[in-house]
Structure 1
């Protein structure tokens, strides 16, 4: 059964909803231009009130290792999610788990060297020092947005399945994001067999986290595991 992360938490109430529903981890977005941005001091207040054994993930994009380190010291995060074009090697010294996100277009083009499906792009993840990377997250990119788009990845297509095979061959746990919702998460899990799933917009209503949607998303996975 995959682990579940609810991302884009902005209030303690949202965090409580996710924890009570059975989430394994919560994501806090420290990307200033994101509509789900949270100030480090606000995230700290929420995190300090969480029960034990809940993962605390800080999401960053194009942030310097120095600034990331300062936020990690201020907020008791246990996981760092890099969502830009960062080199994971630059963050290897930070004492947290590291996840690197790959933002993919809805229809990957395996023939393009600039596309994340290309061998040259994936080659950057081979031979990394052990402390540099602990997991790879696949997300959808749409209209300049590198996450939280609500656009599902094309899990069923041969092109995506080929990419999935090559990413898994790198040997890192795979986390699936990109347009997940209570309605499609079981199919997505069945087609990709991820280590974990990551949802944000799929459990929102009118741009805010919704308690019923969070509960529905998690209960679908916990009570109806895909074959």
Structure 2
């Protein structure tokens, strides 16, 4: 199981997460308590191994600005967490992760519209578009809903429930931010515990086994 630690704001946490086995790190460039500057993100990314997926999180940002930041800091993927259209997501030159907040059946249907590289299914919107620590009813998702999608599961995950979530949803990757924090700061012990639980949750393949390869 692949793991993404989102909301990275310092080098110590980034390096520790990678050492513990994180496959991807997320850097938030939208309004958030975890928002990072381009200068800081570039500094951190410069110290990361090349195989680590480096994701920039944006909310209703212009294409030009997204491309500029991605190129400047060294992103490998772009995560769209706003009201971006399918046309917009397909216009970007970087692999796209489109986030969908799950709150009813209609929100599930929007997954079908996006032909991007990954679909991130998240909990309901809170104060911010993501990273609110809110989960959704995992039992409301069926295999048919996620057919032929590279699914990243987010929303309310932590080391006590990630195994259950993985077994129910069978995603390509799990994404966590607030679930590995203590008093609003990344907690290295929680990061390590989360990654151990996530990667030890399955010994077999996933629903997306045909693309279960290194990035």
TM-score strictly above 0.5: yes
Which sections of structure 1, spanning at least 5 residues, go unmatched? none
Once the two structures are TM-superposed, the CA of residue 124 in structure 1 deviates from its matched residue by 2.8
Give the total of aligned pairs: 204
1:198 aligns with 2:167: no
Kept after mapping to 2: 8 A contact 1:187/1:226 = no
**Alignment partner of 1:165: what SS?**
coil
- Divergent runs of 4+, >6 A: none
Q: Pick one of 101, 110, 122 that aligns with 1:139.
A: 122
TM-score normalized with structure 1 length: 0.84
Whether the 8 Å CA contact 1:181–1:203 is kept in 2: the answer is yes
| Equivalent position of 1:165 in the other structure | 144
Tell me the equivalent position of 2:131. Answer: 148
- Asked if the contact 2:32–2:128 (Cα under 8 Å) also holds between the matched residues in 1, the reply is no
| Displacement after TM superposition at 1:123 (Å) | 4.9
Whole-angstrom CA distance in 2 between matches of 1:185 and 1:122: 22
Q: How does 1:82-97 map to 2 (within 5 A)?
A: 82-97=80-95
Question: Are 2:113 and 1:124 equivalent residues in the alignment?
Answer: yes
Are 1:67 and 2:65 matched, yes or no? Answer: yes
| Shift in CA distance, 122/56, structure 1 to aligned 2, threshold 3 Å | closer
- In the alignment, structure 2 segments of 5+ residues that lack a partner are 205-215
Cα distance in 2 for partners of 1:184, 1:77 equals 29
Please give the alpha-carbon distance, in whole angstroms, between the structure 2 residues aligned to 1:122 and 1:23: 26
Q: What's the CA shift for 1:149? A: 1.3
What TM-score, normalized to structure 2?
Answer: 0.88
- Secondary structure of the corresponding residue to residue 73 of structure 1: helix
Could you report, residue by residue, the CA deviation over 1:5-62 in whole angstroms, capped at 9, with x for unpaired residues? 000000001101101110001000000x211100111100000011221110001010
- The CA distance in 2 between the partners of 1:75 and 1:218, in whole Å, is 26
